[in-house]
Amino acid sequence: MPSAPPARSIGPALICLLMAAAAAGAARPPEATVAQVHAELLRGATSVTALQRRYVSRIAALDARGPTLRAVLEVNPEAAALAARLDAAPGPRGLLYGVPLLLKDNIDTADRMLTTAGSLALVHSRPARDAFVVSRLRASGALILGKTNLSEWANFRSKRSSSGWSGRGGQTRNPYALDRNPCGSSSGSAVAVAADLAVVAIGTETDGSIVCPASVNGLVGIKPTVGLVSRTGIIPISASQDTAGPLARTVADAAAVLSVIAGYDPDDPATLPLKDRPAIDYSKSLDRAALKGVRIGVLRQYAGFHEGVDAVFERSLGILRAQGAILIDPVEIPKHTTLEADEQTVLLYEFKDGINRYLAGRPAGPKTLADLIAFNEREQAREMPYFPQDLFLEAQAKGSLLEKEYTEAHERAKRAAGPEGIDAALAQDHLDVLIAPTAGPAATIDLVNGEHLLGGEITSAPAVAGYPHVTVPMGALHGLPLGLSFVGPAWSEARLIACAYAFEQAAQARQPPALRPSVP
């Protein structure tokens, strides 16, 4: 397995003093970046062991007590030992050396942690090996602190689910307003980074599950091109849409993580285009002047759902113009009336096929989707107190991937979202990038009726096409964060990251949540 490139630092900076003076109710300490962690480690101003202790203390104070965010399902029982080994390890040191990182609980780890997709059905079954992305992270020197809560089964169990709820972890809360929903299935990963329970985290997306939680939790989220990051060892929904990606407080941190986890994996055919391609260091895209001369299409069709969001979006357009971007306004992605239905059909077929294959490879526990359905029926009180398993039942009723209903829906959806959708919109006005509000402000938590988020329609076209999607904070509405989406064609991560970074540096729009830790 190729090793990660060596770590770089951008100059000394103070590492965050996470729990110091918490008992005295001190002001929230500054948040650390990857570069700041490296700078302090290289100067000897801190150690990986000290970082591990501080973040674990912060998880206890904010997640298990205090606001009780329920973002972290479990702290890695090997975290202290891993930190000690990293402190003792000789060079060279990887790109994420010593960086405290959390994993979404649908990403396999062959250690003492569980991998359950938030379901009680998998608590007695452990994966046989690390996911490909976990192997890359370990090789880079990242300190894997634990697993994060998520929408159970990555939000593919019921149409009436509450994002951030799982049978294993309960309801994750938005740190900006504790009665608000964290959005998407990578909810725990996003909340943890927003609340500074880790420097960065890994999420996964099928449609919106990285970018939506990033948006409503004031973060940067990168949903890569399908095939840039291996899905081996990640509990699946859709072979044609699933991908892992980073959640971070800065574009630079997200770029560093993506540089580590991207790469060819012979066990994931989607990564074949990377086989002979040299590794990309996405930090080389971090250019404050990157927006100058870039032709950007403004997708008004995904705005207009809230006047407050529109006002923040307009300010963002002004920042883009001031940085030299050429805005083509408006631009539309052609709509196809069957896209939503075709996507749902594809997901149902691919989920049944993928989950059966995945479960068959687990050493113990349920082996099929039918087994999961039966478990949920037996454990209704714990697993289905708020919403049913209608999507499981619909998927179970589908046949194989050879059926005409699947193959035709898959072909129509891919064509509508890609060549006749995003590609057509870009080509019509010779555009480089498309932009839109990522989603509305976080909705209130509603375990009875499910989530009711305004906006968010921008997620589907890049998700179905398998194209990259980057969101970056653009401001807030009544204290609730809002994200700006950058979308482009396949394999255009470097350009999207460059545009997002230049906007981020000009806008300086992110404000951390005001959280007060509790002490024993």
State the distance between the two ends of the chain, measured CA to CA, in whole angstroms.
44
Q: Are strands 480-487 and 469-477 parallel, antiparallel or unpaired?
A: antiparallel
Q: Is 222 helix (H, G, I), strand (E, B) or coil?
A: strand
Token pair listed for 377: 């029926």
Q: How far is CA 124 from the centre of its chain?
A: 26
CA distance 509 to 321: 16
Token pair listed for 475: 């401001």
Is 161 in contact with 152 (CB distance < 8 Å)? yes
CA distance 272 to 227: 7
Among residues 151, 158, 209, 238, the one annotated as catalytic is 209
Query: Alpha helices, DSSP H only, in 380-435?
Result: 380-383, 390-396, 404-417, 423-428
Is 507 in contact with 474 (CB distance < 8 Å)? yes
Is 290 in contact with 502 (CB distance < 8 Å)? yes
CA distance 61 to 517: 5
CA distance 422 to 433: 10
Token pair listed for 17: 């003093």
230 annotated active-site = no
Q: Would you tell me the crossing angle of helices 307-322 and 493-507 to the nearest 10 degrees?
A: 100
CA distances 229 to 84, 142, 466, Å, are 29, 17, 12
Token pair listed for 177: 């307003």
259 annotated active-site = no
Is 345 in contact with 394 (CB distance < 8 Å)? no
Q: Would you tell me the crossing angle of helices 339-360 and 369-378 to the nearest 10 degrees?
A: 90
Among residues 185, 189, 283, 316, the one annotated as catalytic is 185
159 annotated active-site = no
Half-sphere exposure of residue 320: CA atoms within 13 angstroms, side-chain side: 28
Q: How far is CA 364 from the centre of its chain?
A: 28
Name the residues annotated as catalytic.
Answer: 104, 185, 209
